[in-house]
């Protein structure tokens, strides 16, 4: 049955605001999250930007937020970028059209004193990037003792950008009795670890990822013993330039993205680019553009960085590793076979990854046809650090260690590094502005382009 806004038991003011916006019915995530968020339990929502997720958490929060003249905010929304702060504030203001609500957006890179003065007027809802929020709290300009609801939006991006340490600092200064609400587009090991460590038996809400792959995506898989044999297999496949015209290679971690990039055959050096959150913004923008426009045949990307990007005519998605969360596999392979064209997906799995492959097959209710390793592919004996047995006999945990290292104090990222994850159109817009490479990370790019000319 279709849920309507009438079914949601909204207040008259919220209902009228939504009516003015012309929304006909709640989006699936809004329908599902409403009562769960209202229940006061911790909530983990899996939804991407564009699904109406901001209203999904704000409708139930505003439904129960009483009018107050108190100075300190009761709701805190943390987001990874300044652009998102502005966007979320705007959405809240639309929803609160008929409510007396004080919303303040704060982010780094701008005058902190102006923000201090604004906060001193009293606020109900603060939308913030973690670094600036922490600075404001430490300087006592912002008192967080009344926070009842903490929303962390785009948590996967936040962790990928290395904000874990800042988040933990903020948790420390928030009241213990509060509701935690988290939204993420993808599940990653880091998101999973954060939930396990800091959430109290959270309720999960998600838009059911369709387990039905598009008919026009041909799927295949290989069992491959280890990372370097996977590299050999990929090198082998990529030789066939006629078939592998535009290849998106997915890896779960930035470390493996770099290692793969460095290990691939030199003969592909001119055709390959890589994107993950440790690359400079300009480098990423250019890589994406070059891949999209066909100047580079191969793009290596992490799950988080590749989301929101819409490429045309990707001939093959290669899953260099097997996603632990089957939904990520569905997101990955959806990048090929767009617009009715035939797409191809190839999955590489080690012995250890077989259980993840089984979970994917269960979700799809399809067995992925298996191919034997071509004879030309050499089986490598070399093991990565993660694959080597540790002294205590365990295989080391496949986690991005970087994110657990405290960053340089609590400062916001510099302006250029912050403007990330705004989706394809944003990147392309920026890309237009920065045609020429400008940063140190671009050395290789310069070399390559010289060669090409």
> Rounded to an integer, what distance in angstroms lies between the CA atom of residue 214 and that of residue 196?
33
Quick check: 261 binds ligand AMP (CB under 6 A)? no
Toward ligand AMP, which CB reaches closer, 26 or 162? Answer: 26
Site string for ligand AMP, 167-196 (x = CB under 6 A): ------------------------------
Strand order through the sheet with 217-223: 272-275, 298-302, 247-251, 316-319, 343-349, 217-223, 370-371
Distance (Å) of CA 172 to CA 107, 166, 169, 372, 402: 20, 10, 5, 52, 21
Toward ligand AMP, which CB reaches closer, 58 or 247? Answer: 58
Among 23, 98, 268, 426, binds ligand AMP (CB under 6 A): 23
Quick check: 51 binds ligand AMP (CB under 6 A)? yes
Toward ligand AMP, which CB reaches closer, 51 or 123? Answer: 51
> Rounded to an integer, what distance in angstroms lies between the CA atom of residue 133 and that of residue 129?
6
Toward ligand AMP, which CB reaches closer, 15 or 268? Answer: 15
> Rounded to an integer, what distance in angstroms lies between the CA atom of residue 104 and that of residue 132?
13
Nearest approach, Cβ of 419 to ligand AMP (angstroms)? 17
DSSP for 266-326?
GGGTTTEEEE-TTS-HHHHHHHHHHHHTTS-SEEEEEHHHHTT---S---EEEESS--SSH
Among 34, 55, 107, 410, binds ligand AMP (CB under 6 A): 55
Quick check: 232 binds ligand AMP (CB under 6 A)? no
Quick check: 308 binds ligand AMP (CB under 6 A)? no
Among 45, 52, 60, 131, binds ligand AMP (CB under 6 A): 52
Site string for ligand AMP, 56-95 (x = CB under 6 A): -----------------------------------x----
Strand order through the sheet with 149-152: 103-106, 125-128, 75-78, 149-152, 179-184, 43-46, 203-206
Residue identified by tokens 């979320």 is: 88
Among 8, 32, 54, 302, binds ligand AMP (CB under 6 A): 54
Toward ligand AMP, which CB reaches closer, 92 or 257? Answer: 92
Toward ligand AMP, which CB reaches closer, 49 or 166? Answer: 49
Nearest approach, Cβ of 417 to ligand AMP (angstroms)? 22
Nearest in space to 216 (alpha carbons), one of 337, 365, 369? 337
How many residues of this chain bind ligand AMP (CB under 6 A)?
12
10 Å CB burial of residue 75 (0-12, 13-18, 19+) is buried
Positions in 26-45 near ligand AMP (CB under 6 A): 26-27, 30
- Beta-bridged to residue 132, according to DSSP, are none
Q: By the criterion CB under 6 A, which residues form the site for ligand AMP?
A: 23, 26-27, 30, 49-55, 91
């Amino acid at each position: 049955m279709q849920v309507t806004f009438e079914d949601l038991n909204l207040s008259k003011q919220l209902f009228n605001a939504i009516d003015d916006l012309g929304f006909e019915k709640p989006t699936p995530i809004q329908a599902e999250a409403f009562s769960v968020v209202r229940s006061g339990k911790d909530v983990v929502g899996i939804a991407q930007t564009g699904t109406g997720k901001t209203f999904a958490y704000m409708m139930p929060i505003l439904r129960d937020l009483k009018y107050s003249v108190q100075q300190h905010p009761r709701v805190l929304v943390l987001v990874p970028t300044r652009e998102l702060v502005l966007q979320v504030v705007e959405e809240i203001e639309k929803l609160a059209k008929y409510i007396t609500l004080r919303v303040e957006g704060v982010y780094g890179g701008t005058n902190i004193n102006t923000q201090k003065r604004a906060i001193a007027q009293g606020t109900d809802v603060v939308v913030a990037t973690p670094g600036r929020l922490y600075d404001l709290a430490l300087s006592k300009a912002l008192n967080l003792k009344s926070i009842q609801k903490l929303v962390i939006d785009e948590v996967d991006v936040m962790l990928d950008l290395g904000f874990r340490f800042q988040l933990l600092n903020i948790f420390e200064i928030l009241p213990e009795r509060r509701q935690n609400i988290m939204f993420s587009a993808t599940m990653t090991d880091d998101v999973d670890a954060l939930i396990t460590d800091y959430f109290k038996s959270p309720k999960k809400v998600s838009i059911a990822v369709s387990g039905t792959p598009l008919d026009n995506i041909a799927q295949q898989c290989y069992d491959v013993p280890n990372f370097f044999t996977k590299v050999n297999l990929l090198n082998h496949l990529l030789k066939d330039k006629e078939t592998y015209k535009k290849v998106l290679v997915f890896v779960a971690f930035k470390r493996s993205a770099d290692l793969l990039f460095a290990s691939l055959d030199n003969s592909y050096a001119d055709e390959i680019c890589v994107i993950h959150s440790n690359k400079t913004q300009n480098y990423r923008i250019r890589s994406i553009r070059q891949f999209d426009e066909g100047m580079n045949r191969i793009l290596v990307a992490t799950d988080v960085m590749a989301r929101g990007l819409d490429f045309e005519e990707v001939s093959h998605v290669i899953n260099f590793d097997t996603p632990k969360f089957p939904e990520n596999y569905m997101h990955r392979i959806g990048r090929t076979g767009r617009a009715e064209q035939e797409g191809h997906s190839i999955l590489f799995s080690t012995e250890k990854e077989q259980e993840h492959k089984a979970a994917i097959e269960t979700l799809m209710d399809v067995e992925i046809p298996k191919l034997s390793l071509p004879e030309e592919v050499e089986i490598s004996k070399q093991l990565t650090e993660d694959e080597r047995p540790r002294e205590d006999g365990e295989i080391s945990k496949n986690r991005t260690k970087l994110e657990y290292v405290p960053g340089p104090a609590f400062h916001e990222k510099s302006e250029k590094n912050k403007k990330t994850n705004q989706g394809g159109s944003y990147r392309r817009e920026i890309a237009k502005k920065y045609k020429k490479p400008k940063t140190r990370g671009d050395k290789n790019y310069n070399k390559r382009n010289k060669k090409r000319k």
